[in-house]
Chain A
Amino acid sequence: MAPIGVDEWVARSGDRRERHGGWRGGFARVDERLGWWPRLLLVGVAAFVYGEFIANGNINFAQTGFNVVLYALLALGLNIVVGWAGLLDLGYIAFFGAGAYVYAMFSSHAFGNLAAGTGGVILPAVASIPIAVVGVAVLGLLIGLVALRLSGDYLAIVTLFVGQAFAEAVNSVAPSTLGGANGLFGLNNFQVGNAMIGSTIGYYWFAVIALLVLMALLHLLDTSRTGRAWRAVRDDPLAAEAMSIPVNRVKVMAFTFGAAVAALAGTVFAAQQSSVFSTNFSANTLILIYACLVLGGAGSISGAVLGGVVVTVAQQLLTSPLDSAYLFYGVLIIALVARVRPWRHLAAVVAGIIAFGLATRAIVGAISARAVAGSPGSAGWFAHALKHFVIVPSGSPLTYGNVLYIVAIVMLVVVVQLKGVRRLIAVVPTVYIGMCCWEARLTLDPGITAQIMIGAILIVTMAARPQGLLGSRRVEVV
């Protein structure tokens, strides 16, 4: 209860600060005080430092950097439609794809003889990028006009079809021009005058500059009448209409702007990859873009960018056995440290896990030597450290791993339901089985594991901070 005479909001935010002492409170305070332009500077400095770091480094780091910025761009565009205007657009991927394909058509032999690799319309980037962005913006406008009649779930379903239709269309319509399932390849690089961007690092810098400029422009737009109109329409379309905001026009504008940003990202993507395939624009990519936005905080520009960083880096780490082990055990340790308090409980739980693990393995080893003969799936020193701790049968049979996976999930559900000491006790076998499952099964299929892990990260973040990392709290109806 707030003391009498204290405004409820002030009282509640006071509460928040008291509750979240330590690093969480500190983070919240810094986040609150940091102005918007210093944030942009921070992003710029971070991008610059990383750019210098990859200048002489290995190509994978450059590719990761580029992907981070690409997803940040895509999340920024999606943020206009979903975060600001509140339109659940599941066809967003079509705009990304359309941008990439339009660029590809004007930078390859698409209009000439594709098989022979001759002819066609090849334009410089200064012409093809604007054509792609404006053309796709018009497409966004048309789809927006159709979508006006729909809202909420209906809009989501219809736009989902649009996204799927795009991939089908480029596969089967005009294969002589769009390349069908073989895609378009051998695209020209960005060329401005005599300067040509010919490397991933070059595209990284191009994308970083695009991102920073776009962040600044979108921030200015967000604080203008258009940005306010979008958010008003999201909160209450009827009231917005009654307050002199032309709701339909404003919604179509959001679609158009979102499509234009996605198209820009598409052109950079196509040029960097030097090819486009319809499979690049699948629902998987769409889900990743949504993950960036939701994780970072829908409605927040810096949130969208941070989401892009977290999701892309996590995905990249999960493709390497050693890095994914760092990520898995890192998240495990952070979760334990953050959730198990005070430290005496934490020490007991950790000791419990070690004791339980060693004991279980000794018992299973005594019954059957083959049951513990396999080696952990993690690479590097993790494998050595865990060799005599986790239970991995020789040859890592899939059934064992699958059963373990289901058991781990069931135990996790049980842990969440329990309270107090029982929960602490239940955590011990759950963590151990989770570790065994990771080593015996999850590391074998990094592609699927990456998605499971990103899903897990999303669930944990949403439980702790429903508004996303940098989003602000929202209410639906009070």
Chain B
Amino acid sequence: MAPLLELERVSLAFGGLRALHELDLHVNEHEIVSVIGPNGAGKSTVFNVVTGIYQPAGDIRFDGERLIGRSPHAITRLGLARTFQSLRLFLNMTVRENVTAATYGWTHATPLESMLRLPRARREAREVEARAQEVLGFFGQRLQGYRFDQPAYSLSYANRRRLEIARAMATGARMLLLDEPAAGMNPNETHEITELIGRLRDERGYTILVIEHDMHVVEGISDRVVALDHGEKLTEGTFHEVANHPQVIEAYLGRNPEALQK
């Protein structure tokens, strides 16, 4: 079976800085793949080239469609939605509006239809509302009820992360790119988010590519782990294979002093 997302020899440089170098990466359908690596390894850059924020050299395909050259909103419409490491919610909009705004890609009512509430606009409004209920309902008590009409800036940090995931789900995506979903969370919340990512795949059938620093989360969710450093792939495999790989250990901890002496 062909992978859902495939990167082939993807390179990107900022001036003289090689952010990515001939990177190959693939994610199969219904798979959860983690990308790990030290700070500045190019993990977030991978997300940015996949979602169309940067235009790299090489080839990126999603479900057979070439992504390079498409604008970010067009890529999201193909079924690939992301969250942001530094939360980027629509802070002054309500929780509900954050989610419903993300349905723009699969609704089609023109402003005129909306102003006159013509049949298509009314039907889509019902669908959007149902989608919002369904997506927010996935997070159980956390985002339920009276919180729907609160502005997003009033949410706690953990709830903002949840809302970002909900917003990405509302775009109608098949694949989610989660950028450090557990960053800044306490151990309880981290545990919860680990479970949640598993449920996203098992219950909703999402394919997930995740960047994460917390090794407990990575261990808990990953089918496969890809380790990056200096924009290149060090290795990939199961969590234990990657975690014990000498180059990965070196990238995180530095070179073994004994090895240096030899």
- Show the binding face of A for B, using Cβ within 8 Å: 7-10, 12, 217-218, 220-221, 224-229, 231-232, 234-236, 238-247, 253, 257, 472-475, 477-478
Contacts and interface: CB of A to CB of B under 8 A. Distances in A.
Nearest to A8: B154
Contacts of B82: 242
A8 B153 CA distance: 10
A235 B93 contact: yes
Most buried by B among A473, A474, A478: A478
Contacts of A227: 114
Contacts of A477: 91
B97 A475 contact: no
A257 B156 CA distance: 36
Contacts of A240: 90, 101
B115 A221 contact: yes
Contact of B93 (A8, A232, A242, A245): A232
B104 A239 contact: no
B66 interface: no
25 contacts: A7-B154, A12-B154, A217-B115, A220-B114, A225-B124, A228-B101, A228-B104, A231-B92, A231-B101, A232-B90, A236-B88, A236-B89, A236-B90, A241-B72, A242-B72, A242-B88, A243-B102, A243-B171, A244-B77, A244-B104, A244-B171, A472-B92, A472-B151, A475-B91, A478-B153
B114 A226 contact: yes
A272 B125 CA distance: 40
B109 A225 contact: yes
**Shortest beta-carbon contacts, A-B, top 9:** A244-B105, A224-B114, A9-B154, A239-B88, A235-B90, A244-B76, A243-B102, A228-B101, A232-B101
Contact of A221 (B111, B167, B168): B111
B235 interface: no
Nearest to B160: A478
B90 A231 contact: yes
A220 B93 contact: no
Contacts of B109: 224-225
Interface size class of B (residues with CB under 8 A): 35 or more
Contacts of B100: 225, 228
Nearest to B117: A220
Contacts of B105: 243-245
A231 B93 contact: yes
Which residue, of B82, B92, B107, B114, has the highest number of chain A Cβ atoms within 10 A?
Answer: B92
Contacts of A478: 91, 153
B59 to A, nearest CB: 21
Contacts of B154: 7-9, 12
Given A9-B150, A231-B92, A253-B111, A224 B125 contact: yes
Interface in B141-163: 146-147, 150-151, 153-156
A423 to B, nearest CB: 34
Contacts of A247: 73
Given A10-B146, A242-B81, A242-B84, 4 more contacts: A224-B121, A225-B109, A244-B81, A247-B73
Most chain B beta carbons < 10 A, residue from A232, A241, A242: A242
Contact of B51 (A7, A229, A242, A473): A242
Contacts of A224: 109, 111, 114-115, 121, 125
A40 to B, nearest CB: 14
Majority SS at the chain A contact face = helix
Contact of A243 (B76, B111, B155): B76
B97 A246 contact: no
A142 B90 CA distance: 28
B104 A243 contact: yes
A300 to B, nearest CB: 12
B73 A244 contact: yes
Identify which of A217, A228, A472 gathers the most chain B CB atoms within 10 Å of its CB. A228
Interface in B28-76: 51, 53, 71-73, 76
Contact of B128 (A217, A225, A473): A225
Contacts of B207: none
A347 to B, nearest CB: 41
B101 A245 contact: yes
A473 B92 CA distance: 8
A8 B104 contact: no
Contacts of B194: none
Contacts of A235: 89-93
A231 B107 CA distance: 17
A385 B43 CA distance: 77
B222 interface: no
A236 B93 CA distance: 11
Nearest to B128: A225
A239 B89 contact: yes
A472 B115 CA distance: 23
Contacts of A9: 150-151, 154-155
B198 to A, nearest CB: 24
A224 B90 CA distance: 16
A239 B73 CA distance: 10
A262 B154 CA distance: 35
Interface in B207-239: none
B103 interface: yes
Most buried by A among B114, B124, B171: B114
Contacts of A253: 111
Contacts of B116: 217, 220
A246 B84 contact: no
Contacts of A472: 92, 151
A225 B72 contact: no
